[in-house]
Structure formats: C-alpha cells, structure tokens
Amino acid sequence: MRPTDRIFVALDMPEVEGARAMAKNLSGLVGGVKLGLEFFMAQGPAGIRAAMEGTDLPLFLDVKLHDIPNTVAGAVRSVAPLAPAFLTVHASGGPDMLRAAADAAADEAARLGIARMRILAVTVLTSLGEDDLAAIGQRGPAADQVRRLAAMAQASGVDGVVCSPAEVALLRADLPADFTLMIPGIRPSWAAKGDQKRVMSPAEAVAAGADRLVIGRPITADPDPRAAAQRIAAELGA
C-alpha cells in the first residue's frame, strides 16, 4: 500500500459543495474520502454521488448500521450502487447481523459486477466510558470489550474494525494481518488536537499496526489542505 492510500480524509460537513470541492482538491494526495451520518442524513445517496463527482477517490461510508440482520442486509444492498470501498456497521449488532452484512456486500457486488465493499465493525464508541458500558450492560474494561467484539467481528466474516489509537497494537496482535484496522484520533505533531484527547501521530499509528487512518481537521481545517495531506504522506514515507 502506498503511504497516501492509508489516508482517508473525514469530510465532516453537511453541504455537498464544500465536500465536493475538498474531495476534488485532495485527489491524488489521499487514499479516500470518509462521509458520515451528518452528510448522509442531509444529502442522501444523491448527495454522496454529487460529492464524489469529479474525483476517483475511494469512498468510506461511515453510517454505522445497527438493526436486525435482514434490515442491515437490505441497507447494504441499497448503498451498493454507490460502490463504497468501506462501510461501517456496529459490532454489537451481533454475529448474525455482521454475517448478513458481509454476505449482502459479496452477493450484491457480484450481481452488479463491481468490487465488493469492505465491511468494518465499530467496536466500542470512544464516547462511552466505563460507567456507560455498565449502564448498557456491557462488561468492561473497555479495552477488553473492544477485543471481544473485534474477535467476534472477525469470526463473523467482516473485513476489519474501526478502533481508537489506544487499541491498535492490542488488536493487531490478536487478529490476522489482512484484517483492516481503520483508525481515527490521528494528529500530526504540528496539528491542533481539537476535541481529540488520546491521539497518535500518523507514523505512530502505522507502526502500531494501523492500515488506514481517518484524518479530518488536520487536513480540512488547514489553510492549505493539499500541503497538509502531503506533509502527512511524507511522514508516512511517501
């Protein structure tokens, strides 16, 4: 994988024009674009298509699906024509839901004659503390629950997980080398931390075992987003 391929730029904005301009501006300098619930709920599939127009960057559709297996499989089929490279579901939806998502991704790609989207499972949201885990009936500590959910996700046929920098090394040791670890909470030393508390630099995260890095504001809020992306790629050895 080229260093630039590792970088998925998070476009956390509700408007099509801003997202499209940023995606276009970063073509060739990052490995893909992450669009999430804020954008999808406001703009829908047509907005995703519009935002990605004029760029051949892969799409990471981060909508964190969580429902009964039949409904999640249907949702996966519904977004398949957008040809996302990655799509997120919640690991806590359980083995049958994860399997249904993975199977639907494979079946629908074959039917449409397109590349199969990779399903990533979200383990424990980093917004949940130990008290929150207890309140929803999940056994902590959080790192143990992340490992349990990641192992279950891998056994259920999905392609990887999203996890925080704090868990990358643990999960890399537990899981096969081809199991994708997609990591947000990345801050180059020169960027503001913003509301991220436990962060790692791009090079540290890759050294710990990350495959792909989700990076938002260090690129999008920089006065020169192209230069920021190039600095990050250089830090990764480009």
Q: Which two tokens stand for residue 177?
A: 């080398």
Does the annotation mark 64 as catalytic?
yes
Q: Which of 51, 91, 98, 215 binds ligand C5P (CB under 6 A)?
A: 215
Q: Which two tokens stand for residue 7?
A: 């970088």
Q: Which of 5, 12, 15, 174 binds ligand C5P (CB under 6 A)?
A: 12
- Judged on CB neighbours under 10 Å (0-12, 13-18, 19+), 128 is middle
For tokens 């990076």, the residue is 215
- By the rule CB under 6 A, 217 interacts with ligand C5P: yes
Phi first, then psi, for residue 91 (nearest 5°) are -55, -35
E strands present in 29-157: 32-36, 59-65, 86-90, 118-122
Q: Could you say which residues in the range 22-81 bind ligand C5P, by CB under 6 A? A: 36
Q: Which of 58, 165, 185, 225 binds ligand C5P (CB under 6 A)?
A: 185
Closest-CA residue to 5 (of 236, 166, 200, 186): 236
Closest-CA residue to 212 (of 202, 221, 200): 202
Helices vs. strands in the chain: H and E counts, helices first: 10, 8
Q: Could you say which residues in the range 92-131 bind ligand C5P, by CB under 6 A? A: 126
- By the rule CB under 6 A, 160 interacts with ligand C5P: no
The helix (H) or strand (E) run that includes residue 212 is strand 212-215
Q: Which is nearer to ligand C5P, 25 or 109 (CB)?
A: 25
For residues 186 and 218, is the Cβ–Cβ distance under 8 A?
yes
- By the rule CB under 6 A, 202 interacts with ligand C5P: no
Among the residue ranges 47-55, 93-101, 111-119, 215-223, the one whose residues contact ligand C5P (CB under 6 A)? 215-223
Q: Which is nearer to ligand C5P, 73 or 199 (CB)?
A: 199
Q: At what angle do helices 69-79 and 95-112 cross, to 10 degrees?
A: 30
Question: Least CB distance from residue 33 to ligand C5P, whole Å?
Answer: 11
Q: Which is nearer to ligand C5P, 33 or 175 (CB)?
A: 33
Question: Least CB distance from residue 201 to ligand C5P, whole Å?
Answer: 12
- By the rule CB under 6 A, 145 interacts with ligand C5P: no
Per annotation, catalytic residue among 24, 64, 193, 197: 64
- By the rule CB under 6 A, 10 interacts with ligand C5P: yes
Binding positions for ligand C5P, rule: CB under 6 A = 10, 12, 36, 126, 164, 184-185, 194, 196, 214-218
Active site residues: 64
